[in-house]
């Protein structure tokens, strides 16, 4: 509630929105948290760019869209950037897709510079302009990651938007991506005051750092798990940015992500060949068979199937996986990996699969339906992350009765608890970030899998965890209301 007793008005400003546009966890969060917030009594709406294919995907999902009468305009780089506003009700959440020339390229650029960063600054300004077009003025702009971090900067330091009312929240889904590029000609083109570029604002070793600017300028900052909130204040985790995060710690909170448990539900998932639930696990065996067939392995094997669904980047620890390929094969387990990313990691896995063709299979690419089959058909979910802000995959895997083996870091530490603790748990964890550490946990999992009764108990423990947004939506609501005091 605001002081006047009305619901807090929050505009979610996000460059990803599942199921229409998604690269990773941010897309999932933006696609599920707003619905939970509305149920908790927050007047939340969403704005997102209509990247190529997004409006087609909205139409294909059967949603009705309307075009808002007034366009939004933003002045940037001595040009007016206009966007058509297309509205749809997504799961009961008023959602605005901005269709503009600025969003016709790739979602995220591989190289960041003034030109490739510009669509993200333009998007933030158009989000600030939206209130007039839709006649609804947010109390709070809730921004996510560097791609919308320009918005708090604009509210604090832009010649024009400094007069706009509204508070801002910066949620950090992954501090590894900061939006760093050359200051010229950005500073002149963006309309930010010259003093926005100093070591206490967005300047970072001579470069622009949009995330740093967003953290400093935002009224409040949150990140996606309590453990990560602590880790990012240390040099080991975020290097040069840790000082700023430590300095800003009084406005930082860690709120664990939830899942869209209707979407990720083995008892209603249309992408898997058989349904199952904690009460009746039979369908999981059919999913395992289908997955093994898809991988070209014997579908009748009783070997444990280890699955990974991930971006193949340094963060996720896959160098440990391919370096341990022989040891994994020797356990008798099958290892199936779905993902794509850095060449050197993909190549490492390809070589591991070529050397162990009976045990290891890589499905290269991004494949949403196959990811569901992986979660449903696997026995063990391996996630040996070097760092992990929250991680959704380990929660999804637990929903599908696939027992996680994870490194004790970030959100993995807040969601996966080792079964060998005196109080029991829902998975297997390790601390040391190397092959020996990972294999210690993985071997325990593979051995335990042979004890069917013990394994079923661990599966059920994970399947019965509460991964809904209910609790965390309440914590976000508290944060909004604290800002309105």
Q: Which residues bind ligand ADP (CB under 6 A)?
A: 24-25, 28, 309-311, 338-340, 366-368, 371, 390-393, 396
- The secondary element (H helix, E strand) that includes residue 346 is helix 343-355
Residue closer to ligand ADP, measured from CB, 87 or 364: 364
Decide: 469 and 36 in contact? Cβ < 8 Å. yes
- Long-range contacts, stretch 5-8, CB < 8 angstroms, 24+ apart: 6/43, 7/41, 7/42, 7/43, 8/42, 8/43, 8/139, 8/140, 8/477, 8/480, 8/481, 8/484
For strands 65-67 and 79-90, give the pairing: antiparallel
Q: Minimum distance from CB of 45 to ligand ADP (Å)?
A: 23
Phi and psi, residue 114, nearest 5° = -55, -45
Q: Minimum distance from CB of 61 to ligand ADP (Å)?
A: 18
Q: Minimum distance from CB of 375 to ligand ADP (Å)?
A: 7
Residue closer to ligand ADP, measured from CB, 72 or 337: 337
Residue closer to ligand ADP, measured from CB, 309 or 324: 309
Residue closer to ligand ADP, measured from CB, 217 or 405: 405
Question: Can you point out the beta strands (E) in 68-219?
Answer: 72-76, 79-90, 93-99, 140-144, 167-172, 180-181, 203-204, 207-209
CA distances from 171 to 34, 146, 221 (A): 14, 9, 6
Q: Minimum distance from CB of 23 to ligand ADP (Å)?
A: 7
Decide: 229 and 252 in contact? Cβ < 8 Å. yes
Decide: 48 and 96 in contact? Cβ < 8 Å. yes
Residue closer to ligand ADP, measured from CB, 22 or 251: 22
Q: Minimum distance from CB of 418 to ligand ADP (Å)?
A: 20
Q: Residue 371 and residue 309: Cα distance in Å, rounded?
A: 6
Q: Minimum distance from CB of 391 to ligand ADP (Å)?
A: 4
Residue closer to ligand ADP, measured from CB, 178 or 371: 371
Decide: 153 and 202 in contact? Cβ < 8 Å. yes
Residue closer to ligand ADP, measured from CB, 248 or 340: 340
- 440 Cα distance to chain centroid: 28
Q: Minimum distance from CB of 102 to ligand ADP (Å)?
A: 24
Residue closer to ligand ADP, measured from CB, 283 or 339: 339
| CB-count exposure of residue 485 (10 Å: 0-12, 13-18, 19+) | exposed
Residue closer to ligand ADP, measured from CB, 114 or 318: 318
Q: Minimum distance from CB of 176 to ligand ADP (Å)?
A: 9
Q: Minimum distance from CB of 367 to ligand ADP (Å)?
A: 5
Among candidate residues 398, 404, 372, 417, the one with its CA nearest the CA of residue 460 = 398
Cα end-to-end span (Å), the chain: 10
Q: Residue 312 and residue 318: Cα distance in Å, rounded?
A: 7
Q: Minimum distance from CB of 26 to ligand ADP (Å)?
A: 6
141 SS3 class: strand
Residue closer to ligand ADP, measured from CB, 128 or 396: 396
Decide: 8 and 240 in contact? Cβ < 8 Å. no
């Amino acid at each position: 509630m605001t002081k006047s007793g009305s619901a807090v008005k929050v505009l979610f400003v996000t460059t990803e929105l599942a199921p229409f546009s998604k690269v990773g966890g941010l897309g999932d969060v933006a696609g599920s948290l707003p619905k939970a917030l509305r149920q908790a009594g927050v007047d939340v709406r969403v704005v997102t760019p209509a990247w190529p294919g997004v409006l087609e995907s909205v139409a294909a999902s059967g949603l009705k869209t309307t075009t808002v009468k007034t366009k939004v305009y933003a002045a940037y780089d001595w040009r007016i950037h206009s966007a058509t506003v297309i509205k749809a009700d997504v799961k009961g959440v008023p959602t605005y897709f901005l269709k503009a020339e600025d969003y016709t390229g790739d979602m995220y650029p591989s190289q960041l510079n003034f030109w490739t960063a510009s669509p993200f600054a333009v998007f933030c300004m158009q989000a600030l302009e939206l209130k007039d077009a839709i006649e609804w003025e947010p109390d709070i702009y809730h921004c996510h990651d560097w791609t919308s971090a320009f918005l708090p900067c604009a509210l604090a330091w832009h010649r024009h938007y400094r007069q706009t009312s509204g508070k801002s929240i910066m949620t950090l889904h992954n501090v590894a991506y900061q939006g760093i590029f050359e200051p010229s000609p950005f500073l002149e083109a963006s309309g930010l005051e010259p003093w926005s570029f100093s070591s206490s604002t967005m300047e970072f070793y001579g470069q622009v750092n949009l995330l740093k600017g967003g953290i400093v300028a935002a009224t409040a900052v949150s990140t996606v798990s309590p453990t990560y909130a602590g880790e990012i204040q240390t040099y080991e985790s975020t290097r040069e940015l840790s000082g700023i995060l430590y300095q800003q710690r009084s406005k930082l909170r860690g709120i664990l992500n939830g899942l869209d448990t209707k979407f990720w539900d083995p008892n209603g998932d249309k992408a898997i060949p058989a349904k199952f639930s904690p009460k009746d696990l039979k369908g999981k065996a059919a999913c395992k068979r289908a997955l093994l067939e898809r991988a070209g392995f014997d579908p009748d094997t009783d070997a444990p199937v280890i699955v990974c669904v991930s971006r193949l980047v340094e963060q996720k620890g896959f160098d440990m996986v391919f370096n341990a390929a022989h040891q994994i094969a020797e356990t008798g387990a099958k290892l199936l990996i779905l993902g794509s990313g850095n060449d050197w990691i993909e190549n490492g896995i390809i070589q591991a699969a070529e050397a162990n063709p009976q045990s290891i299979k890589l499905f290269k690419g991004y494949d949403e339906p196959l990811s569901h089959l992986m979660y449903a058909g696997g026995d063990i979910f391996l996630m040996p992350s070097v760092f992990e802000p929250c991680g959704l995959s380990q929660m999804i895997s637990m929903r599908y009765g696939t027992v996680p083996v994870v490194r004790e870091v970030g959100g993995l530490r807040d969601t996966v608890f080792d079964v060998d603790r005196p109080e029991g748990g829902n998975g297997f964890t390790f601390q040391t970030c190397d092959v020996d550490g990972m294999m210690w946990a993985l071997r325990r999992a593979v051995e335990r899998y042979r004890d069917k009764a013990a394994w079923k108990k661990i599966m059920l423990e994970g399947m019965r965890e509460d991964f809904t947004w209910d609790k965390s939506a309440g914590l976000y609501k508290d944060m909004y209301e604290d800002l309105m005091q």
